[in-house]
Amino acid sequence: MSGGILLKLSRLTTLTLLTVLAGCSTPPRPGGSAYQINESMTATGQNNRIDMIVLHYTAGTTLTALAVLTNRDVSAHYVVTDDIKPLVYRLVNENMSAWHAGESSWYGRNYINPRSIGIEIVHPGWERNSTGGMGMPYPPAQIDVVVALTRDIAKRYGVAPENIIGHSDVAPLRKQDPGPAFPWRQLAQAGIGRWYDEAAAARYQADFSRKGVPDAKWFQTQLKRVGYSVPETGRFDTSTKQVISAFQMHYRPELVSGGPDAQTAARLQALPTTGSAFVSTDNPPEQPPAK
């Protein structure tokens, strides 16, 4: 083959490549923009901006919640009502950041509004007590809607089970919603969120009851392992007890005491760092130890 033919083929290949690349470019923007965007290549180093879902309760009625969430410096992406047939209001587009979590932290990631979807659930709220009162139950129909909505969002963004959390989990020193009445175990059974290994927790509880409850440093280390922001003081100070309370609201809702007892330690140790754990559908959660 002659050199002239090779040169012509080379020029033709180059021209074809340039034509293909030009076709991958977006046309100039209206208004005579001075630049074009070429989308012919894609970087591998990327992920969804959204990697958390935070559940809240409104501590009020639907009307009150909608008024507050649309007219003040707080907001949420969604509100799920407590009607017989619950409605879902979308107040903020998922492409935008809602102002729902405030000062917050999870697995060392601070101020999580820009990376999370916030869901407000209409509920009267919960008052802290020492009797084991869990507050008003959430209506089953409402929870069914929350499950469906949360599942859809988690699937859309690939949200990991450990990152489906409550406001009290990410802001344990300030918040207590969605409260101990929220059925986290039911969500875990539906494949949403994280739960502890119940069989392992029973074994750990027997060990802790026999050998003694771990010290403050152990609790602080374990709480940090599963995502919570906790002071590492080596003491059961006020802040540490509030974080223990937040853990109990999620994983030991039958008695939110803030106390470092054997049952709380056992469930904490049986909680995986990431992912989900087996949840028995046959037996109810263990009741708190007799006083």
Q: Would you please indicate which residues are annotated as catalytic (active-site) residues?
A: 120
Contact 117, 50 (CB under 8 A): yes
Contact 158, 115 (CB under 8 A): no
**DSSP-derived secondary structure for 86-151:** --EEE-S-TTS----S-S-EETTEE--GGGEEEEEE--------SS----SPPPHHHHHHHHHHHH
First to last CA, the chain: 95
**Residue 165: CA count within 13 A, CB half-sphere:** 29
Cα separation, 110 vs 175, in Å, equals 16
Q: Which helix (H) or strand (E) holds 55?
A: strand 52-57
Strand order in the sheet with 88-90: 88-90, 78-80, 116-121, 52-57, 164-166
